[in-house]
Amino acid sequence: MKKSDNFSIFEDKTIGEISLLRYSKSSCGVDFLLNTADNHEKRSWFDSEKQYKTDFYEFYFFRKAKGYLFLTGKKIELKNETLLIISPFQQQEWHIDIDDLDYTFLVFQEEFINNFLSDKYFMFRLLYCYQNDYPTYLNIAIDKMKPFLKLLQNMKNELQNPVADSYHMIVAYLYQFLLKVNRFYAETFNLPFLPPKNNYAYQYKQLLEKHICSKNRVNDYVEMMNISRISLNKAVESEFGVTASNLLKQRLLLEIKNDLLFTEYSIKEIAFRLNFSESQHLMRFFKQQTQQTITQFINEYRKEHN
């Protein structure tokens, strides 16, 4: 086990050499599964490992940024005045000079807010969480950052001076923060933002995160949810603008890319792990979704790294 300034790092034996950073209240020096600070107050964990994942949500408001990040294989150029959002268990590889950064961060485990909210699909309702179609980084001017940073400062005040109702106050600030970010994200990418008619789409999205490795047919999820395929499709298209089949394919493709880039599994082993009957079926699926062969995809990724 290794230690960073803020988090305990454990090696995840199931994914090769990638480390898993687990949220540690004791390492963070707070009594909650949440923390926020500026970079000059707490040094980052970016330089703790070459490649790693975290088990918590991460929000970064970069006032000043230089370098780039590979997030689940996608290269993100870091620029001044940027908001970056990272959902749990996404592979990260940072290439930056930490001393050239100026930012405020928020990190928290989903458990922190789920313990308070009765809506178990809340995080899956947020447009930027587990997003596959749109980037989870966006430009945000300094003056637009201020309302968000004010909420983070309110959380920090409660963390530093906790009293009997501090947990409830922090959750209230966090709830408001997440919803405001959601509105900003929807406005930025002109996404539909209507009240949900039911929970089917969000339940489906949650189940995909849990079962994508073992279930890669829409009918598997229809049976688990005990609804018709027509009802599921209507709900998913209404909320996410794509069919249930497309959403599943997007998530399955992401899992394949992660295995190709961040594990030592062979194509045959990946096909077996993801419930493809033959490796050729996986290769055909990958080509249909990306218009690239697996070899072309890996070579392009390596070229970007050199």
Residue 250, both tokens: 């997007």
194 belongs to a structural domain: no
More confident residue, 290 or 13: 290
Question: β-pairing, 34-38 with 52-54?
Answer: unpaired
CA distance 69 to 54: 15
Q: Are residues 115 and 177 in the same domain?
A: yes
CA distance 250 to 67: 28
CATH number at residue 93: 2.60.120.280
Q: Look at residue 40 and tell me whether its pLDDT is greater than 90.
A: no
Q: Are residues 22 and 144 in the same domain?
A: yes
Which residues constitute the domain of residue 148?
A: 2-189
168, 189, 210 - which closes a domain: 189
Q: Are residues 54 and 20 in contact, defined by beta-carbon separation less than 8 angstroms?
A: yes
Q: Are residues 140 and 42 in the same domain?
A: yes
pLDDT digits (tens, 9 = 90+) for 230-256: 999 998 888 787 899 999 998 899 889
189, 215, 238 - which closes a domain: 189
- For 205, 223, 285, 290, the CA distances from 244, given in Å and listed in that order, are 9, 14, 17, 18
More confident residue, 189 or 50: 189
Structural domains of the chain, count: 2
Q: Look at residue 17 and tell me whether its pLDDT is greater than 70.
A: no
CATH number at residue 274: 1.10.10.60
